[in-house]
Amino acid sequence: MGSQQWDERYSGDELVWTSTPDQFLVAEVAGLPAGRAVDLACGEGRNSIWLAEQGWQVTGVDFSAVGLARAQRFADLWDVKVTWVEASVEDWTPPSHGFDLVVVLYLQLPQPAREAALAVAAASVAPGGALLVGAHDQDNLTRGYGGPPNADMLYQVSDVTVAAAAADLNVERAEQAVRVVDTDAGPKEAIDTVVRARRPVDGL
CATH code (residue 139): 3.40.50.150
The reply to whether 167 falls in a domain is: yes
- Which pLDDT score is estimated for 7? 40
Q: Can you state the percent helix, strand and coil of the chain, rounding each to 5?
A: 35, 30, 35
Q: Does residue 204 fall inside a structural domain?
A: no
In a domain, 16, yes or no: no
Give the Å distances, CA to CA, from 175 to 22, 84, 94, 195.
17, 30, 27, 7
The answer as to whether 189 is a domain residue is: yes
Reported as type and span, the H/E element at residue 170 is strand 170-183
Distance of CA 56 to the CA centre of its chain: 15
Does some domain include residue 181?
A: yes
How far apart CA 34 and CA 101 sit, in angstroms, is 9
Q: Could you tell me if residue 53 is inside a domain?
A: yes
C-beta pairs of 111-119 under 8 Å, 24+ apart in sequence = 111/152, 114/155, 114/159, 115/159, 115/163, 116/90, 117/40, 117/41, 117/89, 117/90, 118/159, 118/160, 118/163, 119/163, 119/166, 119/167
Residues spanned by the domain of 28:
3-11+22-198
* Domain total of the chain: 1
- Looking at residue 183, its pLDDT comes to 85
Give the chain's length. 204
Residue 204 has a pLDDT of: 54
State the pTM of this model. 0.89
Query: Within a domain: residue 203?
Result: no
Low-confidence ranges of the chain (pLDDT < 70): 1-19, 203-204
Q: pLDDT tens digits for 68-77?
A: 998 998 899 8
SS3 for 144? coil
Interatomic CA distance for residues 107 and 89, integer angstroms = 9
